[in-house]
Amino acid sequence: MIAFLLRRVVSALPALVGVTLVAFFVLNLLPSDPVQVWSGGSALSAEAAGRLRSELGVDRGPAARYAAWAVALLRGDLGHSLRDGRPVAFVIGDALPWSLALNLCAILAIYGVAVPYGLVGASSPGSATDRAGGWALLLLYAVPPFAAALILQQWVAVGLGWLPLQGVSAEGASLPGRVWDLLRHLALPTLCLALSGWAIVARYSRAAFRSVLGREFLSVVRAKGLSRLRAHLRLAANTAVPFVTLLATIVPGLVGGSIIVEQVFSLPGVGRLYLAAVEARDYPVVLALTLLSAVLVLAGHLLVDLLYLLVDPRIRTALLPERTDAI
């Protein structure tokens, strides 16, 4: 198991290096003078511009700058924010928990709704419910997260007053009270972030369930007296592999979507930090977060590979022969 994990991590290293190259060069190799661009076109004094130039290392060639940046990166040094001078790692560390909480809620919401929907749709293909569901999903898929956010804010938060309009807090007399407050603030953002993922996973799960619903093993376990519910639960285990794969498909969309959702709902997460940094031309933060987004996606791929081991015994025996000997 450890050996497999190590092999997998080592095989991801070239991609990791590639990701740093792309992030660095997209942000650096454009024809404009970076100091002018990143100082926002404001008239810097010659002295200040010179200082910024040497700090960014603009007077060196791009290859030398990349090398310096990569070496610092290996030491865990992401540089300092140009806005307040704090280390970039701290700035990101403050924002990361909010984004992780939001994305985790969204993933739970996506699978929690989409998988049962797929099972219901697949058990009665072509029925009115199934067809209506198909159209509803197509429509959901076409709703941009910010449009959904504005409409929900206007309707649920302003009109009905059920949920807070924006911001986030975890206040309350007791721990359950604090959790309740947090969940109330995260409800609308989670819903908006989950929309497009819902459409993708639900349609996929319907197709996956349909392809196994007619198989003999299902009739066999039913004939042997397993209830319909338990039979379907067993069935869900058989379709777990495509669902795991799908996780890798929806993660990039979630990371991008949280930028918009965090902005609309004023959540102090990484997405909002990214926008603020882009707006303020806070180059070290933008570079670090661009890199982080891709690293998160890479980590998602790794996680998916590990989940394969968990859900599919065939993959487990193929990859980890030593374990089957022991059992």
Partner 1 sequence: MGGEPAAGIAGSALHPPGRAHLLGTDALGRDLLARLIHGARPSLLVGFGATAIALLVGFCAGAFAGLRGGLADLLIVRLVDVVACFPPLVLALAFVAATGRTGLWPMLLGVALSRWTSMARYVRGEILRHRGGDVWVSARAAGAGGGRLVLRHLLPLLAGPLLVMTSFGIAGAILLESGLSFLGFGVDPPTPSWGSILAESRATLDAAWWPVVFPAAALVLLLAALCAAAERAAGSETRGTPLV
3 state DSSP class of 87: strand
The residues that bridge with 87 in the sheet, in sequence order, are 80
CB nearer to partner 1: pick between 226 and 297: 297
Compute the distance between CA of residue 194 and CA of residue 17 in angstroms, rounded to an integer.
Answer: 31
Q: Is 20 helix (H, G, I), strand (E, B) or coil?
A: helix
Question: By C-beta, is 42 or 174 nearer to partner 1?
Answer: 42
Nearest distance in Å: CB 148, partner 1:
8
What's the min distance (Å) between Cβ of 120 and partner 1?
A: 15
CB of 235 to partner 1, least distance (A): 17
**Closest listed residue to residue 189, CA positions, set 133, 145, 247:** 145
**Which of 100/226 has CB closer to partner 1?**
100
The Cα 210–Cα 218 span in angstroms is 12
- Nearest approach, Cβ of 19 to partner 1 (angstroms)? 6
Calculate the alpha carbon distances from 49 to 41, 55, 80, 247 in Å.
Answer: 11, 10, 17, 45
- For the CB of residue 86, give the shortest distance to partner 1 in the complex, in Å: 20
How wide is the angle at C-alpha 240 spanned by C-alphas 294 and 183, nearest 5°?
65
Q: Which is nearer to partner 1, 3 or 26 (CB)?
A: 26
Of 253, 225, 299, 269, nearest to 96 by C-alpha is 269
| C-beta closer to partner 1: residue 39 or 89 | 39
- The distance of closest approach from Cβ of residue 320 to partner 1 in the complex, given in angstroms and rounded to an integer, is 25
Spatial distance between the Cα atoms of 284 and 280, rounded to a whole number of angstroms:
11
Nearer residue to partner 1 within complex by CB, 49 or 143: 143
User: Which residues form the interface with partner 1 (CB under 8 A)?
Assistant: 14-15, 18-19, 21-23, 26-28, 30, 32, 36-38, 41, 138-139, 141-148, 150-151, 153-154, 158, 200, 203-204, 206-208, 246, 249, 252-253, 255-257, 259-260, 263-264, 274-275, 278-279, 281, 286, 289-290, 293-294, 297-298
